[in-house]
Amino acid sequence: MSRRAAAFVAGLLLATASAAPALAQHRAPGLVPDPTSVEGGLWGVMERAEQDAKNSADLNDDPALNDYVRGVVCRVASDYCDEIRVYIMDRPYLNASMAPNGYMEVWSGLLLRAENEAQLAFVLGHELGHFLENHSLERWNNQKAWATAALVISVGAGAAGAYYGVDTSAIGDLAYLTAVASVMNYSRTQEAQADAIGFERMVAAGLEPTAAAAIWRQQQAETRASSFRSVRQREAMGSVFRTHPLTAERIAALDAMAQEHPGGLEERERYRAAIRPHLSAWLAEDLSRRDFNASLALTERLERDGLDLGVLEFHRGQILRQRRDAGDLELARDAYRNATEYEDAPVAAWRELGDLEMRLEDPQAAAAAWRTYLDRATTADDRWIVEDSLTALETSS
Amino acid sequence: MKKSIVSLAVLGAALALAACETVTLAPAGAYAVGKGSNVTLTRAWSDFTPISGLKKVRMLSIDGPLLNRLYLSEGLVTGDYIVQPANRREATTPLYDSSMSVTEQVEFVANSVTAMSYERVATSGVRPVQVNGQRGVRFDIEAATEAGLVIKGVGQAVKSDDRLFVAIYLAPGEHYFAESLASAEATMDSVTF
């Protein structure tokens, strides 16, 4: 390409880059946009999404849990609390999201992975940050500006190529890739800004500053433990197209912020008490991802507090039994044995223990576990299966 | 959300392939499921298997897969799936193992229904069943679509010579489940292997 053609394209790039929108101002409480504006249109879309959330099979409508999570939202949102509507969705991934109209989703995968109220408050504060800074609108405008820029550059480069008699198709491709990378990069800036807002709001609520980095550190460890190569690679992939800052970068930034603040409350026991009624169901949902190693890492971390050990050891047995790697059945049996030592063990622990003792050739232990199951599960519809197993055992001995 | 996107992608791919692969008639009477496994249909069903992406499993329907579907497997052996994972190298859907207990067979079927993108899958009414001279297990299924539609179903697992023969009937709880239940259960009763 000639220098004059290159100068023409560079001029176009500069002109369109300067057309990219600047960061919006902090929104005012109680803001309602003009329905005919771009933001009004975005609100309309989000209202329809919110209606879908209300009808979703995933919606968790437990009043106690909803009250608790809403309380944490208000703890960080303060004067914006009345504008936010929280929907807890039973979905086994660490996620929360916030729409510009105040519709917030909190997924059970986040509630399961947060270790305390401070960690939850940080993530919810992060989502609030997107809301306060009108990031949805910014992203919309940004994407529009860069799409226009890419189109103008491609057309301009084509015209320049025709005029100067050179092939400029690579310029069009470059313009497109630059536009896509710019949108993603802009999003990374927003994420870092939302992290800072979440951190400030959490600390202002009197909560522990180190909790912010801690939840990303935990997630980093779980990702590294994953059974799936594609998941393990996710964190390592450094690319201009990544939409979130790499976890290591976020952790470093949040650690630096935490060093400048005194300690606060974690509210660890209160948090566990709030999620306890859902712990078994959420752990079972997590297992449906079949990412056994990640589930094990999560379960072992949850066990560190020494709470809910009957439920957690039973779940550890479930993971190992379904993973079926060499030696897993013995480990699963040991986990079920551990579970039965605690009062909160699900009754199914004795059935599973009996099945594994039998498979591992200890018929006496199997019979004992099965009998305990039959004593405790008086109305279970699968009693006949256990009775069949006992009968077969007694007949053979 | 991710599951929905994958499901839509699979559906899209299935529709794209529909030009080459077609739904066929499964007439009333004897119908071959797969290697050495047959059923007797009490009425005509449509066989959606060619556009389903399933292996070792047939998918029949009367009014279309959203309104009723009957999955019938040939004998599954260790390492087989009911629902194939999106990535062959990552077992994100349940894998059969011939050492599974009866309780684990029920769990395998229920987890496979979850892998079909149904939500809140639960089993109840676990009961013994006699099929082709073998004692197996039959149970009720309740689930929901992501949009909240209640789905009811019946599952069955019968093991013979280390091979597991699975049947799953699913339909919306409103009208469609009851409408085709008798035909679905008669088909489950008729499995031979």
Say whether residue B117 is in contact with chain A using an 8 A CB cutoff.
Answer: no
Give residue B7's pLDDT: 56
Would you say A340 and A308 are in contact if contact means Cβ atoms under 8 Å apart?
Answer: no
Q: Which of A92, A24, A7, A134 is CA-nearest to residue A291?
A: A92
Q: How many other CB atoms are there within 10 angstroms of residue A211's CB atom?
A: 28
Question: Cα separation of A138 and A130, whole Å?
Answer: 10
> In this predicted model, which residue has the larger pLDDT, B83 or A142?
B83
Given pLDDT bands bounded at 50, 70 and 90, which one contains residue B60?
Answer: very high
Say if residue B15's pLDDT is above 60: no
Q: Which two tokens stand for residue A90?
A: 């039973």
Do B124 and A381 lie within an 8 Å CB cutoff? yes
Give residue A309's pLDDT: 98
Percent of chain B with pLDDT over 70: 90
Q: Which amino acid is at A118?
A: A
How do the domains of chain A map onto residue ranges?
3-259, 277-396
A358 to chain B: closest CA residue:
B101
Question: Cα separation of B171 and B148, whole Å?
Answer: 13
Residue B51 distance to chain A (closest CA, Å) = 25
Domain span at residue B78 reads 2-189
Given pLDDT bands bounded at 50, 70 and 90, which one contains residue A177?
Answer: low
Do B90 and A324 lie within an 8 Å CB cutoff? no
Burial class (CB in 10 A: 0-12, 13-18, 19+), A22: exposed
Interface test with B, best of A91, A290, A295 (most B CBs within 10 A): A290
Residue A91 distance to chain B (closest CA, Å) = 9
Please report where in the chains the tokens 């009014």 appear, as a residue: B63
Say whether residue A361 is in contact with chain B using an 8 A CB cutoff.
Answer: no
CATH of domain A277-396: 1.25.40.10
pLDDT tens for each residue of A16-29 = 333 333 344 678 88
* Structural domain count, chain B: 1
Give residue A249's pLDDT: 85
Residue A234 distance to chain B (closest CA, Å) = 15
Average pLDDT along chain B: 91
Mean pLDDT of all residues in A155-175: 60
Give residue A151's pLDDT: 64
Give residue A188's pLDDT: 78
pLDDT tens for each residue of A252-266 = 999 999 999 999 999
Say whether residue A379 is in contact with chain B using an 8 A CB cutoff.
Answer: no
Q: Tell me the CATH number at B66.
A: 3.40.1000.10
Given pLDDT bands bounded at 50, 70 and 90, which one contains residue B20?
Answer: low
Q: Which two tokens stand for residue A142?
A: 């940004």
Would you say A223 and A231 are in contact if contact means Cβ atoms under 8 Å apart?
Answer: yes
> In this predicted model, which residue has the larger pLDDT, A143 or A225?
A225
Give residue A108's pLDDT: 97
Beta bridge partners of B138: B127, B156
pTM over 0.90: no
Mean pLDDT of all residues in B30-51: 94
Question: Checking phi first, is residue A240 left (phi over 0); if not, alpha (psi -120 to 50) or beta?
Answer: alpha
Say whether residue B125 is in contact with chain A using an 8 A CB cutoff.
Answer: yes
Longest Cα pair distance anywhere in chain B, in angstroms?
43
Say whether residue A362 is in contact with chain B using an 8 A CB cutoff.
Answer: no
Give residue B191's pLDDT: 97
Would you say A182 and A146 are in contact if contact means Cβ atoms under 8 Å apart?
Answer: yes
Give residue A159's pLDDT: 64
Identity of the residue in A58, A230, A382 whose CB atom sits nearest the CB atom of B90: A230
Q: What is the DSSP letter of B27?
A: -
CA torsion sign for A33, A36, A37, A38 is positive
Give residue A153's pLDDT: 67
Helices A292-303 and A309-323 cross at an angle (nearest 10°) of 160
Least confident of A25-39, A217-231, A283-297, B31-45: A25-39
Q: Which of A133, A190, A146, A114 is CA-nearest to residue A15?
A: A146
Say if residue A165's pLDDT is above 90: no
Do A90 and B87 lie within an 8 Å CB cutoff? no
Mean pLDDT of all residues in B159-173: 96
Say whether residue B124 is in contact with chain A using an 8 A CB cutoff.
Answer: yes
Interface test with A, best of B108, B126, B135 (most A CBs within 10 A): B126
Least confident of A184-188, A292-296, B36-40: A184-188
Say if residue A175's pLDDT is above 70: no
Give residue A7's pLDDT: 40
Mean pLDDT of all residues in B134-152: 96
Question: Cα separation of B192 and B117, whole Å?
Answer: 29
- Spell out the residues 6+ positions from residue A95 whose beta carbon is closer than 8 angstroms to its own: A105, A107, A109, A110
pLDDT tens for each residue of A55-69 = 999 999 999 999 999
Given pLDDT bands bounded at 50, 70 and 90, which one contains residue A32?
Answer: confident
B110 to chain A: closest CA residue:
A288
Beta bridge partners of B164: B76, B159
pLDDT tens for each residue of A210-251 = 999 999 999 999 999 999 998 888 765 444 444 555 678 889
Residue A288 distance to chain B (closest CA, Å) = 7
> In this predicted model, which residue has the larger pLDDT, A23 or A50?
A50
Say if residue A149's pLDDT is above 80: no
Q: Which two tokens stand for residue A80?
A: 């914006």
pLDDT tens for each residue of A316-346 = 999 999 999 999 999 999 999 999 999 999 9
Do A385 and B102 lie within an 8 Å CB cutoff? yes
Give residue A176's pLDDT: 55
The ipTM assigned to this model is 0.88
Q: Is A146 helix (H, G, I), strand (E, B) or coil?
A: helix
